[in-house]
Amino acid sequence: MNVTAVVVSVVVALVAHASGATIPQVGELLETNYHEVAGIPAAARIKCGEEAQDFDGARIVGGSAAGVGAYPHLGGLVITLTTGATSVCGSSLLSTTRAVTAAHCWRDSRNQARQFTVVLGSTRLFSGGVRHNTNTVAVHSGYNVHTLLNDVAMITLPSVSYTNAIQPINLPSGSLASSNFAGTWAQAAGFGRTSDNAGISNNQFLSHVSLQVITNAVCQQTFGNTVAASTLCTSGAGGRSTCSGDSGGPLSINSGGQRVLVSATSGVLTLSRCRTRAAV
Protein backbone atom coordinates (compact mmCIF):
# COMPACT_ATOMS: atom_id res chain seq x y z
CA MET A 1 0.00 0.00 0.00
CA ASN A 2 1.40 3.37 -1.01
CA VAL A 3 2.18 5.86 1.71
CA THR A 4 -0.19 8.80 1.27
CA ALA A 5 0.16 12.39 2.35
CA VAL A 6 -3.11 14.23 2.81
CA VAL A 7 -3.13 17.99 3.01
CA VAL A 8 -5.95 20.48 3.38
CA SER A 9 -6.52 22.73 0.39
CA VAL A 10 -5.35 26.22 1.20
CA VAL A 11 -7.46 27.67 -1.57
CA VAL A 12 -10.69 26.27 -0.13
CA ALA A 13 -9.58 27.04 3.41
CA LEU A 14 -8.80 30.68 2.69
CA VAL A 15 -12.09 31.22 0.90
CA ALA A 16 -13.95 29.55 3.74
CA HIS A 17 -12.05 31.64 6.30
CA ALA A 18 -13.36 34.75 4.61
CA SER A 19 -16.90 33.46 4.09
CA GLY A 20 -17.38 31.58 7.35
CA ALA A 21 -18.11 28.35 5.48
CA THR A 22 -17.37 24.94 6.99
CA ILE A 23 -14.66 22.79 5.43
CA PRO A 24 -15.03 19.05 5.97
CA GLN A 25 -11.66 17.29 6.13
CA VAL A 26 -9.72 14.44 7.67
CA GLY A 27 -10.68 13.77 11.26
CA GLU A 28 -10.09 10.65 13.27
CA LEU A 29 -6.92 9.59 11.44
CA LEU A 30 -4.97 12.58 12.66
CA GLU A 31 -2.70 13.12 15.63
CA THR A 32 -4.30 16.12 17.34
CA ASN A 33 -1.74 16.55 20.15
CA TYR A 34 0.80 17.89 17.65
CA HIS A 35 3.10 19.91 19.90
CA GLU A 36 3.83 17.25 22.53
CA VAL A 37 4.03 14.36 20.06
CA ALA A 38 5.84 16.07 17.18
CA GLY A 39 6.60 19.77 17.45
CA ILE A 40 8.47 19.93 20.76
CA PRO A 41 10.68 16.88 20.03
CA ALA A 42 11.35 18.19 16.51
CA ALA A 43 12.37 21.59 17.90
CA ALA A 44 14.86 19.96 20.26
CA ARG A 45 16.36 17.81 17.48
CA ILE A 46 16.67 20.69 15.03
CA LYS A 47 18.20 23.05 17.59
CA CYS A 48 20.68 20.44 18.77
CA GLY A 49 21.62 19.54 15.21
CA GLU A 50 22.18 23.13 14.19
CA GLU A 51 24.36 23.76 17.20
CA ALA A 52 26.38 20.58 16.63
CA GLN A 53 26.59 20.94 12.82
CA ASP A 54 25.52 17.31 12.63
CA PHE A 55 21.77 17.17 12.06
CA ASP A 56 20.17 13.88 13.13
CA GLY A 57 17.30 13.67 10.64
CA ALA A 58 14.04 15.38 11.53
CA ARG A 59 12.76 16.74 8.26
CA ILE A 60 10.86 15.92 5.07
CA VAL A 61 11.06 12.21 4.22
CA GLY A 62 12.86 11.14 1.05
CA GLY A 63 13.84 14.67 0.11
CA SER A 64 17.05 16.64 -0.29
CA ALA A 65 18.60 19.83 1.04
CA ALA A 66 17.31 23.13 -0.33
CA GLY A 67 19.43 26.26 -0.71
CA VAL A 68 18.63 29.80 0.39
CA GLY A 69 16.13 31.27 -2.04
CA ALA A 70 14.88 27.93 -3.37
CA TYR A 71 11.61 28.43 -1.47
CA PRO A 72 11.53 32.15 -0.68
CA HIS A 73 7.89 31.94 0.41
CA LEU A 74 8.60 29.43 3.17
CA GLY A 75 8.52 30.76 6.70
CA GLY A 76 9.79 28.52 9.46
CA LEU A 77 7.91 28.89 12.75
CA VAL A 78 9.67 28.71 16.11
CA ILE A 79 6.76 28.50 18.52
CA THR A 80 6.77 29.53 22.17
CA LEU A 81 3.97 27.73 24.00
CA THR A 82 2.22 29.04 27.10
CA THR A 83 3.95 26.25 29.05
CA GLY A 84 7.32 27.75 28.09
CA ALA A 85 8.17 24.85 25.78
CA THR A 86 9.41 25.42 22.22
CA SER A 87 7.80 23.79 19.18
CA VAL A 88 8.17 24.16 15.40
CA CYS A 89 5.98 24.38 12.28
CA GLY A 90 6.06 25.91 8.82
CA SER A 91 4.13 28.64 7.02
CA SER A 92 3.82 30.35 3.63
CA LEU A 93 4.32 34.07 3.06
CA LEU A 94 1.35 35.59 1.19
CA SER A 95 2.17 39.30 1.37
CA THR A 96 4.33 41.80 3.26
CA THR A 97 2.06 41.39 6.30
CA ARG A 98 0.39 37.97 5.99
CA ALA A 99 1.40 34.32 6.17
CA VAL A 100 -0.72 31.17 6.33
CA THR A 101 -0.16 28.08 8.47
CA ALA A 102 -2.10 25.25 10.08
CA ALA A 103 -4.32 26.24 13.00
CA HIS A 104 -2.99 23.38 15.12
CA CYS A 105 0.41 25.08 15.09
CA TRP A 106 -1.20 27.86 17.15
CA ARG A 107 -3.51 25.67 19.22
CA ASP A 108 -3.78 21.90 19.33
CA SER A 109 -5.88 19.65 21.57
CA ARG A 110 -3.59 20.22 24.58
CA ASN A 111 -1.37 23.24 23.98
CA GLN A 112 -1.70 26.93 23.15
CA ALA A 113 1.02 29.03 21.54
CA ARG A 114 2.03 32.36 23.05
CA GLN A 115 4.20 33.60 20.18
CA PHE A 116 5.38 32.70 16.68
CA THR A 117 8.85 33.62 15.50
CA VAL A 118 8.53 33.60 11.72
CA VAL A 119 11.90 32.81 10.11
CA LEU A 120 12.28 33.99 6.50
CA GLY A 121 15.14 33.63 4.02
CA SER A 122 17.03 30.94 5.91
CA THR A 123 17.90 27.25 5.58
CA ARG A 124 18.23 27.11 9.36
CA LEU A 125 15.43 27.48 11.86
CA PHE A 126 17.10 28.62 15.08
CA SER A 127 19.63 31.01 13.57
CA GLY A 128 20.01 33.20 10.52
CA GLY A 129 17.49 34.77 8.18
CA VAL A 130 15.01 37.54 8.95
CA ARG A 131 13.05 36.86 12.13
CA HIS A 132 9.70 38.41 13.07
CA ASN A 133 7.93 37.83 16.40
CA THR A 134 4.15 37.96 16.44
CA ASN A 135 1.20 36.83 18.50
CA THR A 136 -1.41 38.12 16.06
CA VAL A 137 -2.87 34.92 14.67
CA ALA A 138 -6.41 34.51 13.32
CA VAL A 139 -7.57 30.90 13.57
CA HIS A 140 -10.44 29.80 11.35
CA SER A 141 -13.69 30.26 13.30
CA GLY A 142 -14.71 26.67 12.53
CA TYR A 143 -11.43 25.05 13.54
CA ASN A 144 -11.92 21.89 15.63
CA VAL A 145 -8.89 20.83 17.68
CA HIS A 146 -10.12 17.24 17.93
CA THR A 147 -10.91 16.57 14.26
CA LEU A 148 -8.66 19.23 12.65
CA LEU A 149 -11.68 20.52 10.77
CA ASN A 150 -10.82 23.91 9.19
CA ASP A 151 -7.16 23.58 10.20
CA VAL A 152 -5.95 26.93 8.87
CA ALA A 153 -4.75 30.17 10.44
CA MET A 154 -3.59 33.57 9.21
CA ILE A 155 -0.49 35.17 10.73
CA THR A 156 -0.12 38.96 10.81
CA LEU A 157 3.47 40.19 10.51
CA PRO A 158 5.28 43.49 10.77
CA SER A 159 6.00 44.72 7.27
CA VAL A 160 8.35 42.29 5.51
CA SER A 161 10.97 43.56 3.07
CA TYR A 162 11.28 41.38 -0.02
CA THR A 163 14.69 40.10 -1.15
CA ASN A 164 15.86 37.35 -3.50
CA ALA A 165 15.45 34.96 -0.57
CA ILE A 166 12.13 36.35 0.72
CA GLN A 167 9.16 36.49 -1.64
CA PRO A 168 5.40 35.86 -1.37
CA ILE A 169 3.78 32.87 -3.03
CA ASN A 170 0.85 33.14 -5.42
CA LEU A 171 -2.57 31.68 -4.73
CA PRO A 172 -4.35 29.79 -7.52
CA SER A 173 -6.36 31.91 -9.93
CA GLY A 174 -8.25 31.33 -13.16
CA SER A 175 -8.60 27.65 -14.02
CA LEU A 176 -6.26 26.67 -11.19
CA ALA A 177 -8.74 27.97 -8.62
CA SER A 178 -11.08 25.05 -9.36
CA SER A 179 -8.46 22.40 -10.17
CA ASN A 180 -8.00 19.24 -8.11
CA PHE A 181 -4.37 19.08 -9.35
CA ALA A 182 -4.59 15.28 -9.80
CA GLY A 183 -1.51 13.97 -11.60
CA THR A 184 0.43 17.18 -10.97
CA TRP A 185 3.86 17.03 -9.37
CA ALA A 186 4.10 19.42 -6.43
CA GLN A 187 6.92 20.43 -4.12
CA ALA A 188 6.80 20.29 -0.33
CA ALA A 189 9.37 22.18 1.72
CA GLY A 190 10.04 22.35 5.43
CA PHE A 191 12.32 21.85 8.41
CA GLY A 192 10.63 18.63 9.59
CA ARG A 193 11.74 14.99 9.63
CA THR A 194 13.54 13.52 6.58
CA SER A 195 13.56 9.90 7.75
CA ASP A 196 13.02 7.74 10.79
CA ASN A 197 16.72 7.46 11.67
CA ALA A 198 18.97 8.71 8.86
CA GLY A 199 21.68 11.17 9.81
CA ILE A 200 22.44 14.30 7.79
CA SER A 201 25.85 15.92 8.08
CA ASN A 202 25.61 18.93 5.73
CA ASN A 203 24.71 22.45 6.83
CA GLN A 204 21.53 22.77 4.77
CA PHE A 205 18.64 22.24 7.15
CA LEU A 206 15.74 23.23 4.91
CA SER A 207 14.58 20.22 2.86
CA HIS A 208 12.27 19.70 -0.08
CA VAL A 209 10.65 16.82 -1.93
CA SER A 210 8.49 16.31 -5.03
CA LEU A 211 5.14 14.60 -4.48
CA GLN A 212 2.50 13.66 -7.05
CA VAL A 213 -1.08 14.71 -6.37
CA ILE A 214 -3.56 11.84 -6.61
CA THR A 215 -7.33 11.82 -6.87
CA ASN A 216 -9.46 11.71 -3.75
CA ALA A 217 -10.96 8.45 -5.04
CA VAL A 218 -7.53 6.82 -4.85
CA CYS A 219 -6.92 8.45 -1.49
CA GLN A 220 -10.19 7.08 -0.12
CA GLN A 221 -8.92 3.54 -0.73
CA THR A 222 -6.57 4.19 2.18
CA PHE A 223 -8.45 6.70 4.30
CA GLY A 224 -12.10 5.88 3.57
CA ASN A 225 -14.77 8.49 4.16
CA THR A 226 -12.42 10.73 6.14
CA VAL A 227 -11.29 12.16 2.79
CA ALA A 228 -13.58 15.06 1.91
CA ALA A 229 -13.90 17.13 -1.25
CA SER A 230 -11.64 19.84 0.20
CA THR A 231 -8.86 17.36 1.01
CA LEU A 232 -5.87 17.13 -1.32
CA CYS A 233 -3.84 13.92 -1.37
CA THR A 234 -0.33 13.17 -2.60
CA SER A 235 1.24 9.80 -3.31
CA GLY A 236 4.04 8.79 -0.98
CA ALA A 237 5.50 6.29 -3.45
CA GLY A 238 9.23 5.81 -3.02
CA GLY A 239 9.14 6.64 0.67
CA ARG A 240 8.54 10.36 0.13
CA SER A 241 6.23 12.40 2.33
CA THR A 242 5.89 15.28 4.72
CA CYS A 243 6.54 14.41 8.36
CA SER A 244 6.78 15.73 11.92
CA GLY A 245 7.85 19.36 12.01
CA ASP A 246 6.44 20.09 8.54
CA SER A 247 2.95 21.06 9.75
CA GLY A 248 1.64 24.30 8.26
CA GLY A 249 4.27 24.32 5.53
CA PRO A 250 3.61 24.70 1.79
CA LEU A 251 2.83 22.31 -1.01
CA SER A 252 3.29 24.24 -4.24
CA ILE A 253 3.39 23.84 -8.01
CA ASN A 254 5.10 25.71 -10.82
CA SER A 255 2.63 27.35 -13.20
CA GLY A 256 3.70 29.70 -15.96
CA GLY A 257 7.07 30.17 -14.32
CA GLN A 258 5.52 31.15 -10.99
CA ARG A 259 5.23 29.24 -7.74
CA VAL A 260 1.59 28.66 -6.72
CA LEU A 261 0.45 27.47 -3.29
CA VAL A 262 -2.03 24.60 -3.48
CA SER A 263 -2.01 23.17 0.04
CA ALA A 264 -0.61 23.33 3.55
CA THR A 265 0.32 20.32 5.66
CA SER A 266 -2.45 19.77 8.17
CA GLY A 267 -1.07 17.04 10.41
CA VAL A 268 0.66 13.67 10.69
CA LEU A 269 -1.03 10.32 11.19
CA THR A 270 1.91 8.54 12.77
CA LEU A 271 5.02 10.45 13.65
CA SER A 272 7.50 7.71 14.44
CA ARG A 273 7.29 5.82 11.14
CA CYS A 274 7.00 8.43 8.41
CA ARG A 275 8.10 6.14 5.59
CA THR A 276 5.40 3.58 6.29
CA ARG A 277 2.58 5.76 7.50
CA ALA A 278 0.53 8.61 6.11
CA ALA A 279 0.89 12.30 6.71
CA VAL A 280 -1.98 14.74 6.37
Instruction: Please write down the HEC assignment for all residues of 198-230.
Output: CCCCCCCCCEEEEEEEECHHHHHHHHHHHCCCC
Whether residue 271 lies inside any domain: the answer is no
Q: Which one has a higher pLDDT value, 208 or 200? A: 208
- Residue 71 to residues 103, 207, 214, Cα–Cα distance (Å): 22, 10, 23
* Residues assigned a catalytic role: 104, 151, 247
Q: For 56-89, how does the pLDDT look when each residue is reduced to its tens digit (9 = 90+)?
A: 443 444 444 556 678 899 999 999 999 999 999 9
- Confidence tier at 225 by pLDDT (50, 70, 90): low
Q: Which of 276, 247, 254, 274 is nearest to 100 (CA)?
A: 247
Residue 241 lies in a domain: yes
Residue 273 lies in a domain: no
Q: Look at residue 274 and tell me if it is in a domain.
A: no
The yes-or-no verdict on residue 279 having pLDDT over 70 is no
Which strand (E) or helix (H) includes residue 234? strand 231-235
User: 43 in a domain, yes or no?
Assistant: yes
Residue 224, pLDDT above cutoff 60: yes
Nearest C-alpha neighbor of 11 from the set 157, 210, 154, 173: 173
Kindly state whether residue 110 falls inside one of the protein's structural domains. yes
Q: What is the pLDDT of residue 59?
A: 45
Alpha carbon distance, N-terminus to C-terminus of the chain: 16
Range of the domain at 50: 4-265
Q: What percent of the chain has pLDDT over 90?
A: 31
Burial environment of residue 210 by CB neighbours within 10 A (0 to 12, 13 to 18, 19 or more): middle
Does 129 reside within a domain? yes
Quick one: pLDDT band at residue 227, thresholds 50, 70, 90?
Answer: low
Instruction: Round to whole Å and give the CA distance between 185 and 177.
Output: 17
pLDDT surpassing 80 at residue 253: yes
Please give the tally of structural domains in the chain. Answer: 1
Give the C-alpha separation, 260 to 13, whole Å: 15
CATH number of the domain encompassing residue 83: 2.40.10.120
User: With 50 as the cut, is the pLDDT of residue 150 above it?
Assistant: yes
In a domain, 207, yes or no: yes
Residue type, 262: V
> At 169, is the secondary structure helix, strand, or coil?
coil
